[in-house]
Amino acid sequence: MADAELSKLKTLLSPEEIITIDSPNYDSESRTWAIQANKHPAVVVIPKDLETLSKVVSYANTTSLDIGVRCTGIGSASAKDVLISLSAFKSFSFDRSQETITFGAGHNWGEIDQKVEEQAPGYAAVSARCTYVGVGGSILHGGQSWLSSEHGLSSDPQNLLDAQVVKLDGSVLWASKEPDLLWALRGGGGGFGVVVAYKMRVYKYPSSIFCGQIIYPPEALHDIARETAAFASRCSDPKVAMHLYCLDMTAGTYAGKEPKPGLAIFAYDANGPEHGRSKDGFKWALEIPGAVDLTKTSTFREVNQAFDQSKAPFGKINTWAAGVTVPAVNEELILRAWDWYLALLKKDSKLVMGTYVLMEVMQKAVYQSLGFPSLVSAWPHTRNQHNLQLGTGVVPGSPESDALAHKAMAEGPYEIRPGHTGADYFPNFIEDFVDPKKVFGVNWDRLVEVKRKYDPNNKLGDEGKPTCERCNAANVECAGYEQRRQIEPQPSRTDNASTSATPRSAAVPGVSASASPNYTIRHANSFATVYPKFRTDGLPLIALPTNPRSDQRPHARARDILAYQQYLFRTLPLLFPAEHLHFWRDRLCEEAWDIEYIFLTIAALGGVHRAVLMMSTPSKHDTSRGLDTKVIAVQTYTEALQRISELSLKTDDSLDVFVAALVLLAYFEVVFLFGNIPAAIGHTNEAVFYFSRMRFDDPILASFGTAIYSALKNLRAICHIMLPLPNLGTMDSLAERFPALPGLHLLSPSSSHADPGIRSAPLLDLLDFADRHPEVNHLIWDPLAVYERTISPNSITTFRQHFNNWTISNNPFSQFDSQTLGALQVECDWDAIDRLVIPPRPYADAPAHRCVFAAVHSFYMARMYWVLSLSGNGHEDEKCYLGAYHYIYEVMRSVATIINHGQGVNDMGEGYLACETLGVGLLPLMHILGQCCPKPTWLRWIMEQLSGLGQEGLFNGHVLAKSLNALYTFEMSNNLDSSSMLDHFPPPSSRVISVLLPELDGQSYTAFYASPSFRQQGQVDVTLQYVPLGHARWLNVRRGGTTKPNIEMYTEERKHAEPFTRSWLLEQKVSIEWTTWSTQVGFNFDRALRDHISGSCLENAVYEQEVR
């Protein structure tokens, strides 16, 4: 439909008025100041005249096309479908008798300054202080000028006299004919119509202005802060103003040059150079030690040109900004601002290119020319006097840096000025962390009504569209803004039906959170936590009737309800601990009945879970039904993506639900048949990015944050093991990225109702314990970190002692007392290792859930001993790797117990379902330990079990087994002169190592292999360097493609050209593709759909998973 509408719109224009993606000037005409704001429009149109523009606007308003209106792009205007450029509207006229100018919206202020200087000499407009800023964006959002200390803002009624507007119905008028429209345009933004021309007053103004930079070394900060504060308190001359900023902004990285530490003052004195250098001007600034005087005498136009170098970041960085109004400039404020700036760059040096602090010292008339509050302009102004401009930004490619930059902007004003409120923002920058309702204050309600009147369909964006599209469908009165929607909860009702029969069991009456009026919280402690007994055959608990009678015909959306039930009763307990159900069940399931995209997300996840279970059974009938369910789940998932892409506003009040949806979408791709790697990692990155924007101001939101944080940690662990590459968004520790989430804790309203018999508690405790030691935990799981020796042996030993103490205090092996499992100290030799039988003997009377815990516990012990064996301590090394072999064998026994069908195994009705292992299960454990086992017989057994288990979430056992088989090939090739290889592998320091990476298509895999670079009598040099031996590649293995790898053995020259390191790994094609892919942050529908299709195996008719 959109394509047809776009084609028809093009017929309204001539070819030269249309710019497509293939046009040479597409980039320049669609560029946005902030890269993340660029929606890459399908077409840019440049109407040549008012008649054409009127037709375009009128038609676009009747379509589903997403449109935007652009003047110069500085305001980051963009659209997915059609971006309307006003660059052809360049008219200009000067009326000397009225002292006014009328000019088209296609100008930037530099062009207006030039025309005023030529056609109205001796006059000046209330123009922006940078020539490249477009006239439209600055006027409509306030408009500060050097003249503002004398004449107010450019949007004030004494300056903005009228504006010519193309309304959404295509009619053209001067806004003064409709006072509400003109009122809204005075500081309320451009979301009311397309403004094509402005009529403004100009003023007689001096042409000899003292201005320019005075630069200082960093050590002058305290002198500058003291003297600037004194100047701000005493100066009242409306022709005098100044800026204080970091020198990087005009002479360093922000201007596209090398870093330039230091500070600068931009002095402005329209009284002339003599006054500018006097004690009433800037003599004080010139006398500060270290000052370098770069001031000069300029015309008004030349003054504004002085900041042209600050255009350098245009379209090059992800960036966020805020104009923070402050009542006074004092020394403490300046020092706190610089502390914030320097601390931010210390956290992440990549932010230096786009981060700045700019203190604007002005007079009261700037913001108070109309009094406060002003009712004659949309923005009511403020009692504050000065403006503290803050900006953060970074070159795209680092989601962590983006998240830090955004978080710093959201929190910075409150850190720098403790008395800051949500109303203390100038309306030129209203990012998603700014509440427009507070900024527009007393004028908010009227602004809403004007928006509804002139743009009822929200075609021109801004703050106008409700985030919940169900308002109209439910006949709910909605003023058009999320903050105004006050939907009363339904009356309380009592439901005594059993939870297994009633999908609304979670919707019992609760209480509203007074601190957060936009959602209703259903507290988990108002009813018992549900722990249903699962069917041992793996089938869902709930199903549609078979061959129903006519009166039993299910509703058209009955399958969605079944999927919802599946999520509620079986998927939830698998994914989330009981103490977090207050969010994942109570909060989301309640919101799902009001918010379509979260309902669709839940239905998609529950549906695909049902499909996996049914297709995992031997019954052909169930498999066939599972295929149908799978197709419907995929359709629901795609619809959920579409609904999320249509969201126009993600407020803090609903951001937890939005992030939760991304988490559930990530789990959908994990559960989805054969696990979709790129899509799962992509959604996880998106969730982490938006989670960093969440605020936790009250205990309820803090408890929500805890639940989401826990889920993201689990997904991060899966992603890191699956794709052990740095700088891909989810690969770093969430604890490091969010070290001080206020109010986050492990308790929740539902914790008191946790089932004492819950099976996963010891395992969760163990993983939580390990996660509290991130450096060591990284060594345990990362395939390269263990060989890089980044942590001292003492640190490993200390961790092992803590680990042993935890084990003793928790006594998790009470059911294994008669067996060897759980020993904390082992002494063994090669004879003892050789006596261990293959296949390993299962444990007797050990339930499956206990064996999973035992396997993970023994895995940690084995890896700790393995790391210690690489520390280079001779005889102690052998003791350590023999200890590692002992624990590897215990893992193998636990696995044998889990997957064995008899011989004394007691699973207590809770057999292990690999298809429901959505976190870190048996496959990654065995794959890692397969690279550490002592004998080929052990390796062959591990490969057999990997292939037999098949699939656990993202982990494909067949692929893991193939990579170990290739490892064995490289090991044998690298040790052709060693006859002992027939019985035992070399010691750890002499082993071939490997790194397995999925490719970006989600279907193919590449494994890289390396050997120690120096070997002499079993010893390696202390750096333990490795050289690449070669790689193996499997193509389309998840679509029935290559079963034998394409193995390439490197030549001697290539082996020794560069050592095998992380840097070498990142230079390989598969890593470069992932790195490039990860540069895009935030949710993008096209990429999400592309990743889903690329990484899926939709053509597979049968799920090759055998439930043990």
Largest CA distance in the chain: 107
- Between CA 285 and CA 240 the distance in angstroms is 14
Per-residue pLDDT reduced to its tens digit, 880-908? 888 889 999 999 988 888 876 433 333 44
Q: How far apart are CA 342 and CA 256, in angstroms?
A: 19
Each residue's pLDDT tens digit, 416-438: 998 899 999 999 888 888 889 89
Instruction: Tell me the pTM.
Output: 0.52
Given a cut of 90, whether residue 380 has pLDDT beyond it is: yes
Q: Which of 171-185, 503-517, 717-731 has the lowest mean pLDDT?
A: 503-517
Question: Which token pair is 388?
Answer: 């503290």
Integer Cα distance of 116 and 96 in angstroms:
11
Lowest mean pLDDT segment, chosen from 6-10, 135-139, 492-496: 492-496
Mean pLDDT of 305-309: 85
**E strand or H helix that includes residue 264:** strand 263-269
Domains of the chain: 2-85 (3.30.43.10), 96-204 (3.30.465.10), 211-429 (3.40.462.20), 503-545+555-753 (no CATH), 760-909+919-948 (no CATH), 954-1077 (no CATH)
Write the burial class of residue 900 (CB in 10 Å: 0-12 exposed, 13-18 middle, 19+ buried): middle
Among 237, 227, 236, residue whose Cα is nearest residue 265: 227
What confidence tier does 972 reach under pLDDT thresholds 50, 70, 90? confident
Burial of 82 (0-12, 13-18, 19+ CB in 10 A): buried
pLDDT grade, residue 979 (50/70/90)?
low
Q: Which amino acid is at 384?
A: N
Q: Give yes or no for residue 731 having a pLDDT over 70.
A: no
Three-state secondary structure of 1040-1067: CCCCCCEEEECCHHHHCCCCCCHHHHHC
Mean pLDDT of 824-834: 76
Based on its alpha-carbon atoms, the radius of gyration of the chain, rounded to whole angstroms, reads: 33
d(CA 496, CA 502) in angstroms, rounded, equals 9
Average pLDDT over residues 235-249: 88
Q: What angle do CA 571, 1094, 602 make, to 5 degrees?
A: 25
Return the pLDDT at 1010: 92
Name the range with the highest mean pLDDT among 90-104, 735-749, 1075-1089.
Answer: 90-104
pLDDT tens profile 502-552: 222 222 222 222 223 233 333 333 223 333 333 344 444 445 555 555 555
> How many secondary structure helices (H) and strands (E) does the chain include?
42, 26
Structural tokens at position 250: 């005009």
- Alpha-carbon dihedral sign for residues 330, 333, 337, 339: positive
Strand partners of residue 391: 321, 356
Amino acid, single-letter form, for residue 376: V
Q: Residue range 668-673: average pLDDT?
A: 76
- Looking at every residue in the chain, the average pLDDT score rounds to 79
Q: What is the pLDDT of residue 472?
A: 38
Q: Which residue has the higher pLDDT, 418 or 702?
A: 418
Q: Is-cis flag, bond preceding 839, omega within 30?
A: yes
